[in-house]
Structure 1
Amino acid sequence: MQNQAILLAKRPVGLPGPDTFQFVSSDIPEPREGQVLIRTLWLSVDPYMRGRMNDVKSYTPPFPVGEPIRGGGIGEVVASRHPAYRPGDLITGDLPWQLYALSDGRGIRPVDPNLRPVTAALGVVGMTGLTAYFGLLEVGRPKPGETVVVSGAAGAVGSVAGQLAKMNGCRVVGVAGSNEKIRYLTEELGFDAGINYKTDDLRSALRDACPNGIDVYFDNVGGPVTDAVLFQMNDFGRIVLCGQIAAYNLERPEVGPRLFPLFVMRRLCAQGFIVSDFARRFDEGLRRLAAWHQSGRLKCRETVVEGFERLPDAFLGLFRGDNIGKLLVKVAEPSQPARA
């Protein structure tokens, strides 16, 4: 059997296409002293990965052209010369898009054997959940009785952020791109209202759904959705800038309404953040998220694409709005049950 990898073939301009990715085969490597050989089981595809395809200065280095794309994953240790890991252990961390990969233990950690499903380690009890947890609670600082609007609300981060806002006693309104997603938000996750940005008039729909204005806006999208929300913000409102997926594939920055006078008149605060800003508190966040998830208070849905070869199309599906909740690619089944 051969190893397979998916490389970044070239830096895309606009929306990536098939020529952005290159499939290559090689021999399966052998671990050296201090290394483990990991067989990939699951890989996460996330919007931030589009930014790493560009050769620009950012909070994390760009993907090198000609090397495997990387992202969150779950794998099984199949051979180990590392004292902390044994064959059969499940790990999660930053993994290359490969069937098999070597690691020296940095950037990976064991998966909690009590976690069900195990893929929650890539979603609600992983970086996705931590992003929502710290973004909403530390940057947005919602208070009971306030109104919170979440864009990209049916996505992996947005769906968790909205639920956390409900748990904090807020009125929560989600903006998403289909009626199916709106039903998911309101009927399964307990959002108070949902707005379909593709069919509803955003300004009037926001006025109807937020009769007392908007106190906190958790922004995953940017673009016209954010423009519409800003007009409904209350004095001293907080805007949490988590993602701007509407702009990720633009060849030139989009020029929208000049809205900074609103920030002055209403004394608004907009703050961008990166989840790694809170790295020292990850254990705290993971403990709380795991407890809420285990108790059923924090729900999650996964959209699963099967097959390593479908990774590029699954990634592009993020920009088509294919997913509800966390978008994952299932690469393989574990060879043996995980040990407790």
Structure 2
Amino acid sequence: MSINRQIHLVSRPAGEPTADNFRLVEAPLPAVQDGQVLVRNHYLSLDPYMRGRMNDSKSYAEPQPLNQVMLGGTVGEVVESRNPHFKPGDQVVGMGGWQEYQLVDASQRGVLQKVDTTHIPLAAYLGAVGMPGVTAWYGLTQIINPKAGETVVVSAASGAVGTAVGQLAKARGARAVGIAGGPDKCRYVVEELGFDACIDYKEHRDLKSLSAALKQACPNGIDGHFENVGGMILDAVMLRANAFSRIAMCGMISGYNGEPIPMMAPQLILVNRMKIEGFIVSEHMQLWPEALKELGMMVATGKLKYRETIAEGLAAAPEAFLGLLKGRNFGKQLVKLV
């Protein structure tokens, strides 16, 4: 237990990232000092937002520093503690990054949270009962705020955020329509998660075709849209949007490698008196307890279903992350370390 293996970002990607942007390094584990806690990370979270932080450009978060551990959410177990609030064996969630161990000054409020794994699996605290779940909850309840009978569309519907958006919309009596890539993902979204319909965007390569598919899936138009992708998908949704529709802007993965993302018909924002609001879930921490209470209850009782894609071992993290950006994952992408 004297060596800690880590993945560092060693260069900034020019366009699409590659495995060469990362390096696996070994670092000695420092001794645990007063107030500190040593955590053995069991799972680390891979998320699309990490792509934006790899760039050295102005954004809502500081860029990922070079030659340091890749930042990211983790769950694990306390193995050594010199802090009265934590003891060995405690299951915790934090931002441990892409490494096997994390040494935390646990006197800082909120850097580590104890979690109960009696009814909720540890890994779920990185997905349905973690940041992706709260992201879905916030965008749906605070921005879209669907009424019973309204139609809500979500792009990347089979991902960690999208799966939760649709199920939370259904729980509120709305109609849920997903957009996902491939027949397997669409089948899962409808048959397993209970969405009313799902459109395979790989079958609709142009705007006219995608818009026609949305018209068929949303005969009463679109009242709310949860956007993870942008580009042609957003254009197609806007063509079918109702008056006073709401769009929660969560991600624009179609432009993460620097591609331009023009909007075809911005006049529809005015014509339809649409509300389009971007949000960063970490800026709304006051609502996390309310969100996590609902999400935790739904997962514990089987009312919120989720799926995970798990890569084995720290060395697999870079390739798993590159696959996530190309939509190869199904549900929440995790790396299992233990």
Give the TM-score band, short-chain normalised: over 0.9
Partner residue of 1:181?
A: 185
The whole-number CA distance in structure 2 between the counterparts of 1:67 and 1:90 is 25
The whole-number CA distance in structure 1 between the counterparts of 2:216 and 2:171 is 23
User: Do 1:39 and 1:76's aligned partners in 2 also have CA atoms closer than 8 Å?
Assistant: yes
Equivalent residue for 2:308, pick from 292, 302, 312 = 302
Matched positions, count: 330
Deviation at 1:264, TM superposition (A): 1.0
> Structure 1 residues 256 and 271, CA, compared in 2 at 3 Å: closer, same or farther?
closer
Equivalent residue for 1:254, pick from 258, 261, 269 = 261
The whole-number CA distance in structure 1 between the counterparts of 2:230 and 2:262 is 12
The whole-number CA distance in structure 2 between the counterparts of 1:4 and 1:277 is 31
What are the Cα deviations for residues 12-39 of structure 1, in whole angstroms up to 9, with x where unaligned? 1111112110111121221111111111
Partner residue of 1:336?
A: none
Q: Relative to structure 2, which stretch is displaced further, 17-26 or 189-198?
A: 17-26
Does 1:237 find its partner at 2:238? no
Equivalent residue for 1:268, pick from 274, 277, 292 = 274
Partner residue of 2:175?
A: 171
Partner residue of 2:160?
A: 156
Partner residue of 1:209?
A: 217
| Amino acid across the alignment from 2:155 | S
Partner residue of 2:287?
A: 281
Calculate the TM-score normalised by the size of structure 2.
0.95
Deviation at 1:115, TM superposition (A): 3.7
Deviation at 1:277, TM superposition (A): 2.7
What are the Cα deviations for residues 182-214 of structure 1, in whole angstroms up to 9, with x where unaligned? 000000000001100011321110010011100
Deviation at 1:75, TM superposition (A): 1.6
User: Do 1:29 and 1:37's aligned partners in 2 also have CA atoms closer than 8 Å?
Assistant: no
Q: How does 1:94-133 map to 2 (within 5 A)?
A: 94-105=95-106, 106=108, 107-133=111-137
The whole-number CA distance in structure 2 between the counterparts of 1:134 and 1:65 is 32
The whole-number CA distance in structure 1 between the counterparts of 2:231 and 2:324 is 16
User: Do 2:230 and 2:261's aligned partners in 1 also have CA atoms closer than 8 Å?
Assistant: no
Deviation at 1:57, TM superposition (A): 2.1
Partner residue of 2:56?
A: 55
| Amino acid across the alignment from 1:142 | P
Q: Give secondary structure in 2 for the equivalent of 1:63.
A: coil
Partner residue of 1:45?
A: 46
| Amino acid across the alignment from 2:12 | R
User: Do 1:30 and 1:37's aligned partners in 2 also have CA atoms closer than 8 Å?
Assistant: no
Does 1:224 find its partner at 2:260? no
Q: Give secondary structure in 1 for the equivalent of 2:38.
A: strand
Q: Give secondary structure in 2 for the equivalent of 1:198.
A: helix
Does 1:197 find its partner at 2:201? yes
The whole-number CA distance in structure 1 between the counterparts of 2:119 and 2:321 is 25
User: Do 2:158 and 2:185's aligned partners in 1 also have CA atoms closer than 8 Å?
Assistant: yes
The whole-number CA distance in structure 2 between the counterparts of 1:110 and 1:88 is 10
The whole-number CA distance in structure 2 between the counterparts of 1:99 and 1:82 is 20
Q: Give secondary structure in 1 for the equivalent of 2:96.
A: strand
The whole-number CA distance in structure 2 between the counterparts of 1:239 and 1:284 is 22
Structure 1 unaligned spans of 5+ = 333-340
The whole-number CA distance in structure 2 between the counterparts of 1:225 and 1:108 is 38
The whole-number CA distance in structure 2 between the counterparts of 1:141 and 1:97 is 35
Deviation at 1:255, TM superposition (A): 3.0
The whole-number CA distance in structure 2 between the counterparts of 1:313 and 1:73 is 18
What are the Cα deviations for residues 264-297 of structure 1, in whole angstroms up to 9, with x where unaligned? 1111110001112320121111111111111111
The whole-number CA distance in structure 1 between the counterparts of 2:243 and 2:262 is 25
Q: Give secondary structure in 2 for the equivalent of 1:148.
A: strand
The whole-number CA distance in structure 1 between the counterparts of 2:183 and 2:120 is 29
The whole-number CA distance in structure 1 between the counterparts of 2:188 and 2:31 is 45
Deviation at 1:323, TM superposition (A): 1.4
User: Do 1:11 and 1:20's aligned partners in 2 also have CA atoms closer than 8 Å?
Assistant: yes
Structure 2 unaligned spans of 5+ = none
The whole-number CA distance in structure 2 between the counterparts of 1:143 and 1:277 is 25
Aligned-CA RMSD value? 1.2
**Percent identity of the aligned residues?**
49
Partner residue of 1:313?
A: 319
Deviation at 1:256, TM superposition (A): 4.4
